[in-house]
Structure 1
Amino acid sequence: MSYDKIDITPVTGKRDLNEFVDLAYRLNEADQNWVPPLRAEVMELLNPAKNPFHEHARMQLFLARRGGKTVGRISAHIDELQLKQPPEQGMGPGTGNWGLLEAEDAQTAHALIARAEDWLREQGMTQVVAPVSLSIWEEPGLLVHGHDHPPMVMMGHNSPEYEGWVETAGGYDVAKRLFTYELRVDKSFPDLVNRIVASGEKNKRINVRTVDFKHFEREAAIIIDILNDAWSTNWGFVPFTENEKAYGAKKLKQLILPGANMIAELDGEPVAFMIALPDANAKIAKMKGRLFPFNWIRLLWWLRNPQPADFRVPLMGVKKRLQNSRLASQLAFMMIEYIRRYAVSDHNAKRAEVGWVLEDNQGMVAIAKAIDSHMNREYRIYRKQL
């Protein structure tokens, strides 16, 4: 097969930016399991004036054109906070990223990846960890298993072809695998889990409560402080800034349901949390990326009392001093059981998804197995020395 020459150029203005964003909708239109993201959300992600990620990051977007037609896109970016992390945790000094890859064919994908690598070298980077779109907290990894069903809220989805394209780009090895686990929630957990939950309910030192919406900012700060402590030694960890804490709390608040988010206290001290979100993708999928003129009303109305709604648990954490203890598992089982009961009784939930989970997070993998879930999606993050 012969190809015309591919031109890779940086995104420099509004027209280019629109082409960058719109390309994903065109290339994925035929994939019935791809959920078109809200276009306004994608624009905000890329906007340095709105997304506080850009306060500590450098980014360049690129477009690929063949014969004047846009056929691909990629981002190249460097997170300054990521550069300060210990190298043994996967990132560290000299580490840059690329992400937001979309391409019509392997030749285009390879040309885009090569251009992103060149930009990272020009910026002094010596290693690339990718895809990361844009932050490790957003949509990291390339989907390599689970293309046969739509992603839940805040999870990525890409063509199955991309796996081969990335792995033949030259020099890329798998750095980490991320899993999601699916389970039925309209039936009780196994007896062992129920006994652990009942035991915890008898322990007067333990108090598992829902997030207090009257003091949401305070509760969000508690959750992020636990998260920063719990995940601080995890692969790929980058701490949240104060502006990111406020921004994230504001973004998540519209998805938060009172009974689906838990804080666990030990002797009155918050030591663990679990966040569960209704799967807004089930509603967003029909909107084709557009909130206006009327989709925003439909979405807001649904979010007031989503029915029926399945749920995703994107984040949980237990303070580091309690990790690898029986108490940590007990708190996790209690929180997930309380969320299960609420999701079924108040929102007619049938299924839920937990993740992503790092492949070597033995504690979370064990919990996933104990509640009779199964791995339904795998994402891979790759590494290459530049």
Structure 2
Amino acid sequence: MTQGVRVEPVTDASALDRFIAIPKRLYRGQRGFVAPLALERKDALSAKKNPYFHHAEAQYFVAYSGDEPVGRVSAQIDRLYIERYRNATGHFGLIDAPDDAAVWRALTGAAESWLRERGMRRAVGPLSLSTNEETGMLVDGFDAPPMMLMTYHPPYAARRLEEQGYVKAKDLIAYDYDVERTAPITDAKILARAGLDASRIRIRRLDMKRYKEELAIVLDIFNDAWSDNWGYVPMTAAEIEHTARSMKPLIEPELFWIAEIDGEPASMIVCLPNLNEALKGLEGNLLPFGWAKLLWRLKVSKVKTSRVVLFGLRKKHQRSIIGSAVILRILDALRLGGRKIGMPRAELSWILEDNVPMRKIIEKVGGKAYKTYRVYEKAIG
């Protein structure tokens, strides 16, 4: 299909624009794809604006057939990951290409060479750019509605990547949660059976007047709750501040809950309106009238879907009766909040395939697994 493929590193603004535009060129019209905002992508990929680059370096590559850009990939090394896991693992991501083995071979080869030259012996991905951002390749659920900060790949992508020697490292599951049809959730029987006092648990909404302090609580719980998870890298203070700023315009207090046990913050759930639903048809552009359409959809006509972007329970309460009760109660708070504001569906993602306790709870309250994302690995040296 494609002849004379060459891969070039992104070295200037115009090449970065081509890099960002490739998914739109490849996937326009696919049911599961919505073009992200080009402006947001530029910021996310900027070493000056994304605090990920305080502890990481990356190189972006574009594949060309003649003068036509046909594919892309990133290669990145995260020093915090290296320090935590003490192995020579680099990452790749943002990989998008047509159904053409030559393009996939050229792109993965470029990323692997860059990583190998810097002492890496294993490549893991796709991560765009870390596990705290977009993680995995979509391998099931291609026609499901696209969700914010979750990747899209067509059905052939996994096969093409596997042809280059990549094998499964871990699957990540996304759950569809229908808050309109789900019955009320109760933790009363669980607590009574264990002889625990329900008054020890308090569930409360986000206090927007204390937004910065509330986000600090949420991200402290996140860093504790996820610290033993596969692939986890802690969020730095700069990343926490960046996350707080970027999330604030999308916050719906009815979708943001904190749970306390004996007065101590113990669990949290942060669900955001699905920005991808609002971006549909804008083709990633805010000019000339995209700003108005986006604001109208978010604030007036309202989106109907949402995504849980942060969800966790402190380690000391995990695998405990009271911890299970807290998770049930906070999910019920989300259910009621979604009903109240007319946002009937939420995606709970992502959940590690082997996080059986959490998966059982989500399925118990009516969550349906409907998408699978796969992280791959390959020895490169």
TM range, smaller chain: over 0.9
2:73 corresponding residue in structure 1: 74
Distance verdict in 2 for CA 1:26–1:349, change over 3 Å = same
1:268 corresponding residue in structure 2: 263
Secondary structure of the structure 1 residue equivalent to 2:143? coil
Secondary structure of the structure 1 residue equivalent to 2:250? coil
2:298 paired residue among 286, 298, 303: 303
Secondary structure of the structure 2 residue equivalent to 1:177? strand
How far is 1:253 from its partner? Answer: 0.9
1:363 corresponding residue in structure 2: 357
1:114 corresponding residue in structure 2: 109
1:142 paired residue among 119, 126, 137: 137
Letter in 1 for 2:17: N
User: What are the Cα deviations for residues 157-179 of structure 1, in whole angstroms up to 9, with x where unaligned?
Assistant: 11111011011112x22110000
Distance in 2 between residues matched to 1:259 and 1:191, nearest whole Å: 17
Distance in 1 between residues matched to 2:145 and 2:377, nearest whole Å: 27
How far is 1:26 from its partner? Answer: 0.8
The 5 Å alignment of 1:57-72 reads: 57-72=56-71
Distance verdict in 2 for CA 1:256–1:119, change over 3 Å = same
1:89 corresponding residue in structure 2: none
Distance in 1 between residues matched to 2:283 and 2:191, nearest whole Å: 42
Q: Is the 8 A contact 1:310 1:350 kept in 2?
A: yes
Of 367-376 and 244-253, more deviation after overlay is shown by: 367-376
User: What are the Cα deviations for residues 215-264 of structure 1, in whole angstroms up to 9, with x where unaligned?
Assistant: 10000001111110111010010001110000001111111111111111
Distance in 2 between residues matched to 1:196 and 1:214, nearest whole Å: 34
2:226 corresponding residue in structure 1: 231
2:119 corresponding residue in structure 1: 124
Does residue 1:184 correspond to 2:178, yes or no? Answer: yes
Distance verdict in 2 for CA 1:238–1:53, change over 3 Å = same
Distance in 2 between residues matched to 1:287 and 1:196, nearest whole Å: 47
Distance in 2 between residues matched to 1:73 and 1:246, nearest whole Å: 30
Secondary structure of the structure 2 residue equivalent to 1:159? coil
Distance in 1 between residues matched to 2:270 and 2:8, nearest whole Å: 40
**TM-score, scaled to structure 1:** 0.93
Distance in 1 between residues matched to 2:281 and 2:191, nearest whole Å: 39
Q: 5+ unaligned residues in a row in structure 2: which ranges?
A: none
Q: Is the 8 A contact 1:197 1:334 kept in 2?
A: no
Does residue 1:158 correspond to 2:157, yes or no? Answer: no
Distance in 1 between residues matched to 2:191 and 2:58, nearest whole Å: 46
Does residue 1:280 correspond to 2:275, yes or no? Answer: yes
1:339 paired residue among 334, 352, 355: 334
Q: Is the 8 A contact 1:278 1:306 kept in 2?
A: no
User: What are the Cα deviations for residues 334-386 of structure 1, in whole angstroms up to 9, with x where unaligned?
Assistant: 1111111111122x233221110000111211112101221100000011111
Identical positions, percent: 38
Distance in 2 between residues matched to 1:306 and 1:219, nearest whole Å: 28
Secondary structure of the structure 2 residue equivalent to 1:253? helix
User: What are the Cα deviations for residues 313-336 of structure 1, in whole angstroms up to 9, with x where unaligned?
Assistant: 122111111111111111111111
The 5 Å alignment of 1:286-325 reads: 286-304=281-299, 307-325=302-320
1:37 corresponding residue in structure 2: 36
Q: 5+ unaligned residues in a row in structure 1: which ranges?
A: 87-91
How far is 1:183 from its partner? Answer: 2.5
Distance verdict in 2 for CA 1:211–1:180, change over 3 Å = same
Q: Is the 8 A contact 1:94 1:125 kept in 2?
A: yes
How far is 1:197 from its partner? Answer: 9.1
Distance in 2 between residues matched to 1:353 and 1:117, nearest whole Å: 33
1:99 corresponding residue in structure 2: 93
Q: Is the 8 A contact 1:193 1:370 kept in 2?
A: no
Letter in 1 for 2:326: L
Letter in 2 for 1:95: T
Q: Is the 8 A contact 1:190 1:372 kept in 2?
A: no
1:173 paired residue among 167, 175, 187: 167
Letter in 2 for 1:357: I
2:204 paired residue among 193, 205, 209: 209
